Amino acid sequence: MNRASPVWAVSLIAIGVTGMLMVIAWAPSWTSSAFTSTGQQIYYTGSSAKGPIARTIAGGAFMGPGMMLSAACVDCHGEDGRGGRFGMMFGPVDVPDIRYSALAATRSKDGTTTLGWTESDIERAIRDGVEPDGGRIKAPMPRWHMTDTEVQSVIDYLKEMDRR
């Protein structure tokens, strides 16, 4: 039995943990001073003034924790909120338009008509990953553990994007 192996194991764990912390600490280039509202700050950074907003992801270990912890709304839904089709690690993903006008409008998709969402529908989608009809919103959309104030500020920002 090699007596040195526990030392190696501890060193490797330390290197691994350091690497993970570096990924988690990775910050996008947006500077908080540029934001005019909390909603905009959350949209661009996934953080409020209190720091990163906790989030979980449905059904998947297929994205690394570093990537999930750093992705903000803008990274998937885009600067204009319109979403689109993106190639992600596990293939193309259709990211929906989340401007308020798009969510509040009656929509038709695959022959199914969905009534316009209310603000509380949008809130449930963001926090609980549940659609108004009870359907699950799929990964990679995170479930965001936001306070009432935070989720309201994000909804206000979705409205602001309509005015651009």
* Options 93, 130, 152, 156; binder of ligand HEC; rule CB under 6 A: 93
**Cα–Cα dist 49/139, whole Å:** 26
- Report if residue 69 touches ligand HEC, rule: CB under 6 A: no
Please enumerate in sequence order all residues whose Cβ is within 8 A of that of 121, keeping only pairs 6 or more positions apart, or say none: 103, 131, 132
Judged by CB under 6 A, the number of residues near ligand HEC is 22
- Report if residue 145 touches ligand HEC, rule: CB under 6 A: no
- Report if residue 77 touches ligand HEC, rule: CB under 6 A: yes
* Options 40, 41, 44, 144; binder of ligand HEC; rule CB under 6 A: 144
| Residue labelled with tokens 């691994």 | 16
Please state the closest distance from residue 20 (CB atom) to ligand HEC, in A: 19
**Cα–Cα dist 148/100, whole Å:** 18
Q: Closest CB to ligand HEC among 6 and 92?
A: 92
**Cα–Cα dist 81/106, whole Å:** 18
* Options 69, 76, 104, 161; binder of ligand HEC; rule CB under 6 A: 76
Please enumerate in sequence order all residues whose Cβ is within 8 A of that of 63, keeping only pairs 6 or more positions apart, or say none: 57, 89, 90, 139, 140
Residues that bind ligand HEC (CB under 6 A): 42, 71-73, 75-77, 93, 95-96, 98, 103, 122, 125-126, 137-138, 140-142, 144, 154
